[in-house]
């Protein structure tokens, strides 16, 4: 009986070690996955900023884009790429998905070149660092919190739809009061989406996924966080940016 007891205790100890080892492997895999997501996202933001700065400071390019109907193509092309990437990511190779992501980030740079034309460089830098701090804090909260944020999803999505409709309306009426309201509500929505999307991206990780699938999941996660960051930056810039004379 004593030997049987020792055998059972040894089995339980072995199972505990195996469970601990598996948990450690999952934690390490999750950290590597999330690091890949953030690296893709940060690289996309950097590419967008570089392209926007170059276009804004090369007068011929700025005039070609914003002085002709080409500006409408530049404005809507990133949106088309987002929908196409989201719809076709399952059939793409990981390398193709990466290329689409970089193309999207570059096109966003063309679209956002107007930011460097309209606002002063100092205010852009100030708002950018404030955006980065806010984004980082909310993403960390989404990653570490035990609270289930899934209930916020539908509420935030409705807020996002409302913002888009209000922005379209304001293109025609040009109301500064409506723009202020859009920016304030937009900040709240994208702050919430940052935490929500981070938790959702974390929950999508599976240790059993293939390398190809993990890469595609990381790209889509990076795309969601990229959109949260860029939109939060734009909303804050409308609130705190200083226009050029």
| Domain range summary for the chain, segments of one domain joined by + | 2-240
Q: How far apart are the first and last CA of the chain?
A: 90
Give Dmax over CA atoms of the chain in angstroms.
Answer: 90
pLDDT band at 26 (very low <50, low <70, confident <90, very high): low
Give dist(CA 76, CA 110) in Å, integer.
11
- Mean pLDDT, range 232-239, rounded to an integer: 94
| 4: pLDDT strictly greater than 70 | no
> Which of left, alpha, beta for 174 (phi over 0: left; psi -120 to 50: alpha)?
left
Closest of 44, 53, 49 to residue 100, by C-alpha: 44
pTM: 0.86
The pLDDT score that the predictor gives to residue 141 is 95
Q: Cα torsion at 68, 73, 78, 81 (round to 10°)?
A: -160
Name the 3-class secondary structure at 243. Answer: strand
CB neighbour list of residue 105: distance below 8 Å, 6 or more residues apart:
43, 44, 45, 47, 48, 51, 226
Give dist(CA 199, CA 144) in Å, integer.
8
> Which of left, alpha, beta for 176 (phi over 0: left; psi -120 to 50: alpha)?
alpha
The pLDDT score that the predictor gives to residue 19 is 44
Radius of gyration of the chain (CA): 22
The pLDDT score that the predictor gives to residue 46 is 96
In a 10 Å sphere around its CB, with 0-12 CB exposed, 13-18 middle and 19+ buried, how is residue 7 labelled?
exposed
Residue of higher predicted confidence among 163 and 64: 163
**Mean pLDDT lowest for which of 15-19, 126-130, 222-226?**
15-19
| 53: pLDDT strictly greater than 80 | yes
Structure-token pair, residue 233: 């930056």
**What percentage of the chain reaches a pLDDT higher than 90?**
51
Name the 3-class secondary structure at 119. Answer: strand
Residue of higher predicted confidence among 60 and 245: 60
Tracing tokens 């409308």 back to the chain, one arrives at 238
Closest of 104, 1, 113 to residue 44, by C-alpha: 104
Give dist(CA 189, CA 69) in Å, integer.
31
């Amino acid at each position: 009986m004593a030997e049987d007891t020792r055998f059972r205790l040894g089995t339980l100890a072995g199972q505990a070690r195996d469970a601990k080892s598996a948990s450690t492997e999952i934690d390490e895999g999750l950290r590597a996955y999330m690091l890949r997501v953030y690296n893709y996202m940060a690289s996309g933001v950097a590419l967008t900023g570089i392209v926007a700065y170059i276009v804004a400071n090369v007068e011929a390019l700025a005039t070609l884009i914003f002085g002709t109907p080409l500006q409408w193509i530049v404005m809507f092309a990133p949106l088309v790429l987002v929908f196409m990437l989201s719809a076709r990511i399952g059939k793409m190779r990981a390398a193709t998905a990466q290329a689409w992501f970089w193309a999207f980030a570059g096109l966003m740079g063309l679209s956002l070149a107007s930011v460097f034309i309209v606002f002063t460089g100092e205010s852009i830098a100030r708002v950018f660092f404030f955006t980065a701090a806010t984004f980082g804090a909310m993403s960390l909260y989404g990653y570490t919190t035990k609270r289930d944020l899934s209930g916020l999803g539908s509420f935030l999505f409705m807020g996002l739809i409302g913002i888009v409709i209000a922005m379209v309306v304001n293109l025609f009426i040009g109301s500064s009061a409506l723009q202020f309201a859009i920016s304030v509500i937009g900040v709240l929505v994208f702050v919430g989406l940052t935490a929500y999307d981070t938790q959702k991206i974390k929950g999508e990780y599976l240790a059993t996924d293939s390398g190809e699938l993990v890469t595609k999941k990381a790209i889509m996660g990076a795309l969601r966080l990229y959109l949260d960051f860029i939109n939060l930056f734009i909303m804050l810039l409308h609130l705190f940016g200083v226009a050029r004379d």
